[in-house]
Amino acid sequence: MDLEASVARHHGFGDAKAMAGLRSDWVEQADFSPEGGARAMTRLLAVHPDLDAVFVGSDNMAAGALRALKAHGRRIPDDVALVGFDDLAIAQQTEPSLTTMSQPIRALGHEMATMLIRLMEGENPSPIILPTRLVVRGSAPAALLST
C-alpha cells in the first residue's frame, strides 16, 4: 500500500464490493510480484479456505495466486474464479489464461508525459482516470462473471 496505484485499486475494489453488497474484509496485501501474490493467496486460503473468487491487484500477483491455488488443490475456474489487473503479457501465459482488467497503456503514457511537461512549465495538472475494460479469459469465464 506504499504506491498510489495500490491504494487506488484497493479503494476501487472496496467501493465495488460495497455497491454489490459483498464482504470487504477478505483482503491480503502483497507487493506486485508473483511471489507476493502466492504468499498473499496462501494467507487468504488459510483464513478462508472456502473462497470461490479472487480479484488480484496485478497480473503478476495473480500469476502467483494461481500457482498457490493449484498447490492447494484448487481448480481454476471450477473451484475459484480469478481476475487480475493490467493485462500484462503474463496474463496470456498462465494456464488457464487470466481474466483481467486492461488499462490503456499507450494513453496512460501519453497522459503522464503531458502531465510531466505541464509540471515542468509550472502548472499543477489535475489527476485523471482513464477507462479500463474487462478481458475475459479462462480463469474467470463470462458465465461466472455474470452471476
- Model pLDDT for residues 65-113, shown as the tens digit of each residue: 999 999 999 999 999 999 999 999 999 999 999 999 998 888 888 998 9
**What band does 147 get if pLDDT is binned at 50, 70 and 90?**
low
- Full-prediction pTM beyond 0.85? no
Q: Cis peptide leading into 77, omega within 30 of 0?
A: yes
Q: How many residues does the chain have?
A: 147
Domain residue ranges of the chain, discontinuous segments joined by +: 4-103+136-141
Show the DSSP H helices in the chain as ranges.
4-20, 34-47, 59-71, 105-120, 142-145
Yes or no: domain 4-103+136-141 corresponds to CATH 3.40.50.2300: yes
Q: Which residues contact 60 (CB under 8 A, 6 or more apart)?
A: 32, 33, 34, 37, 86, 88, 90
Segment among 9-18, 55-64, 93-102 with least mean pLDDT: 9-18
